[in-house]
Structure 1
Amino acid sequence: MDADAIIIGAGACGLMCAVQAGYLGKQVIVLEKSDKPGAKILISGGGRCNYTNQFASAEQFISANPHFVKSAFTQWTVEDTISFFETYGIQGKEKTLGQLFPDDKNAKDVVAVFTSICEDFGQEIRCNAAVNNIEIFDDYFKVSYEKNGKTVVLTTEKLVIASGGLPIPKMGATDFALRFARKNGLNIIETAPALVPLTITGKDEEWFAQLSGNSVFCEVSNDEIAFEENILFTHWGLSGPAILQISSFWRRGETININLLPNHDVLALLEEERKTNGKTLLSTLLHRFYTRKFTDALGKFLPLTKPVAALTKAELDLIAATIHHFKVKPAGDKGYDKAEVMRGGIDTSEISSKTLECKKIPNLFFGGECMDVTGWLGGYNFQWAWASGFVIAQNL
């Protein structure tokens, strides 16, 4: 055998798996299609890398089996992630909502931690190595890949597929794991872009486009869940943290609700203003909470030039409905080019939650994004990658 294990994919899961295998004295070869390891890590968080979340638990993950991640998160906790990176000089700093970023370092430093440890342990990372065939035998695997126009063949008793999902194809993302799983009779949960901006077309397109660049703190919800964070208007629709979050739960054709003032009751504000200064224009009151441009845009729906004392019952109802129940029916999403992760993937029922070994194919392991495990925005998907890489390494 050429190594104790071959890992396909030098992303977050594959790199953690290689490092943890090294701690256990196991030699691995990591095959990476791109020209450098950790390509997606390097662009995460605008290059700053939101590498975990202090509140990560099974509650923040979408899966046909929501309990699947619990075992891995027991074996490798958020505290383990924090301690691991602190050991190698990366101190976490909370930005918001439990999101941890390197305090005085960045994504390059995160990748360097793994490449340095791999070098110390003699773990090989072979880049520009696009796997084109895997043969499965009774007690070993034969893996073939292209390198400089030549086919290289490796054999191993243990195989790890951590090749990621479909988002950001320009970074080298492919459907390799999904194709391999289908070819070998494993069930796939329908995939779709997740943590992705949503598009607006038709009669409302111009209204949204004119607000491009405006950011508003909102509560965005559907019948399933609600998120309180900023939304960002763009020339093609909506983005920002709250929109990315709800996109993972949104299905084409559905309407989402936006509360444009989640921490206030607009009717109570109007009543208070009416008592103190009824001559205040509605636009003046709203401008206390929004930019002038956004306030003016609300004039399409609301009587902005009316004094608050002169507002009728029907107008008050309209204001409350517009501010607290602004309905949006997205036309679609921006696709895998702009998605941060993939929803769906290899059915977790095909995989042991304790070891991440494939039930139908012994000594084959899956980890990271290729599986039907999708985290919220904010470091959750990295926590799953680290945890799954650790768990696999313990069982190689």
Structure 2
Amino acid sequence: MATEDNPYDAVIVGGGACGLMCAIQAGLRGKQTLVLERNDHPGAKIRISGGGRCNYTNLNTGIDNFVSVDPSFASHALSSWTVKDTVGFFEHQGIVGKEKTLGQLFPISNNAKDVVSVLTRLMQRYGQRLQTGSNALSVDKRMDGLFEVTYESSGVRHRMITPKVVFASGGLPVAKLGASDFAIRIARRFGLEIVPTAPALVPLTITGKDAEWFAALSGNSVFCRVSNERIHFEENILFTHWGVSGPAILQISSYWRPGESIVLNLLPTHSLEQLIQTERAAGGRRLVGQLLGDFYSRRLVEALGRFLPIQTKIASLGKADAKRIADTIHHFVVKPAGDKGYDKAEVMRGGIATRELAQTTLEAKKVPGLYFGGECVDMTGWLGGYNFQWAWASGYVIAQAI
């Protein structure tokens, strides 16, 4: 219970999606929280997500859309606060969703600031305190079971005594938005296991002898099936001057590990061998490059000439030639050198191990009163609104316990 000496039922570190939702839901239960946000404005990551449009949930959300040592850990939170709950919550506040592709839901206004405005307005309505420009420095547990939170605001250090602390401070991507490893450091200090962290939903780099080939294609986008031994995605890829990006690459990056190759099926909706046979039956007068030009830009066709006989007439191809061309297009092997790092990553992979947390409350089993939600937990969603749904859901679940 909050007291005069301890005026808040909980201190929430981080004023992003998870932290703001947690404070709002706690307010609905009559609780008082203090949200410490190190930026001058809350919801920095919400504001830039989806190119400033905010893909705030995904209609197809399920545990299979998450990367974790134990994806099923998310099942309680995702069933306690469902996609339907998210949609209804924002609709009630005037934000109507518009589905783009693959279940991705954006505000019909296409303005991420509208989402932040809803959250801050509800914070005020339910009497929750949001303190921006406040950088949490340390969290210690006292002998009496309460927590002492030290934070800095306007160059002055403050101490807050509170019975519960919620970490909703995100992960490491995009340091300029205030990202840090603070939650990870505090969890480690309290003896919690950390699943190794890495950038996720991140572009991949190409170096060495193939770098020039990819760089020459910079700006070209093509629909692909991108796969490794564990999973595949069918969406666009984008060639860049340093490697590959685009939705399909960002998706596979969460499952990629250094040293591994990925396979690009550059024509997943057709059989190139069948197309060649059809062309031959019609006389085969066109060149291989002309056939490929039905599907790719001129620049990509010319670049594929490094591997394929694009100036050869289709009628001149033997079965072995046709198979080699098809294998190249449908099984184009790429070995990334690395990724573009946290500053270009959408999210962080890894984090506080789920087995350290109670599934129904997200409270640290070893440290009663300490909670972790959102990105700092080992629960990484796919591209397309899944991470926001986890943020809303984990914030809601924690709010029911504080």
Q: Distance in 1 between matches of 2:95 and 2:395?
A: 19
Whether the 8 Å CA contact 1:209–1:237 is kept in 2: the answer is: yes
1:233 to 233, 239, 247: 239
AA aligned opposite 2:362: L
Q: Is 1:260–2:283 an aligned residue pair?
A: no
Whether the 8 Å CA contact 2:52–2:110 is kept in 1: the answer is: no
1:11 to 16, 26, 29: 16
1:86-235 matches, cutoff 5 A: 86-137=91-142, 138-235=144-241
Comparing 124-133 and 211-220, the one that deviates more: 124-133
Q: Is 1:58–2:63 an aligned residue pair?
A: yes
AA aligned opposite 1:34: N
2:323 to 314, 317, 322: 317
Whether the 8 Å CA contact 2:138–2:186 is kept in 1: the answer is: no
CA-atom RMSD in angstroms? 0.8
AA aligned opposite 1:226: H
AA aligned opposite 1:204: D
Residue deviations 1:210-254 (CA, integer Å, cap 9, x gap):
000000000000000000000000000000000000000000000
Aligned to 2:311: 305
Deviation of 1:294 after TM superposition, in Å, equals 0.7
Whether the 8 Å CA contact 2:54–2:110 is kept in 1: the answer is: no
In structure 2, the CA distance between the partners of 1:148 and 1:225, relative to structure 1 (3 Å rule), is same
| Local SS of the residue matching 1:69 | helix
For normalisation by structure 1, the TM-score amounts to 0.99
Q: Is 1:378–2:384 an aligned residue pair?
A: yes
2:51 to 46, 50, 66: 46
Q: Distance in 1 between matches of 2:249 and 2:206?
A: 13
Q: Distance in 1 between matches of 2:340 and 2:358?
A: 33
Aligned to 2:72: 67
Comparing 314-323 and 286-295, the one that deviates more: 314-323
Residue deviations 1:129-173 (CA, integer Å, cap 9, x gap):
111121202331111111112111111111101110000111110
Deviation of 1:387 after TM superposition, in Å, equals 0.1
Residue deviations 1:174-197 (CA, integer Å, cap 9, x gap):
000000011111100000000000
Q: Is 1:24–2:29 an aligned residue pair?
A: yes
1:33 to 30, 38, 48: 38
Q: Distance in 2 between matches of 1:281 and 1:369?
A: 51
Whether the 8 Å CA contact 1:90–1:105 is kept in 2: the answer is: no
Aligned to 2:3: none
| Local SS of the residue matching 1:377 | coil
Deviation of 1:317 after TM superposition, in Å, equals 2.1
Q: Distance in 2 between matches of 1:7 and 1:295?
A: 54
Deviation of 1:121 after TM superposition, in Å, equals 1.4
Deviation of 1:2 after TM superposition, in Å, equals 2.4
Q: Return structure 1 stretches of 4+ with deviation > 6 angstroms.
A: none
Deviation of 1:34 after TM superposition, in Å, equals 1.1
| Local SS of the residue matching 2:164 | strand
Deviation of 1:313 after TM superposition, in Å, equals 2.8
Deviation of 1:358 after TM superposition, in Å, equals 0.7
Q: Distance in 1 between matches of 2:138 and 2:109?
A: 42
| Local SS of the residue matching 2:397 | helix
Whether the 8 Å CA contact 1:13–1:389 is kept in 2: the answer is: yes
Whether the 8 Å CA contact 1:33–1:130 is kept in 2: the answer is: yes
Whether the 8 Å CA contact 2:230–2:255 is kept in 1: the answer is: yes
| Local SS of the residue matching 1:359 | coil
AA aligned opposite 1:75: S
Unaligned residue ranges in structure 2 (runs of 5+): 1-5
Number of aligned pairs? 396
Q: Distance in 1 between matches of 2:162 and 2:45?
A: 27
For normalisation by structure 2, the TM-score amounts to 0.98
Q: Distance in 2 between matches of 1:320 and 1:183?
A: 54
Whether the 8 Å CA contact 1:2–1:154 is kept in 2: the answer is: no
Residue deviations 1:63-115 (CA, integer Å, cap 9, x gap):
11121000001100000000000000111111100000001241100000010
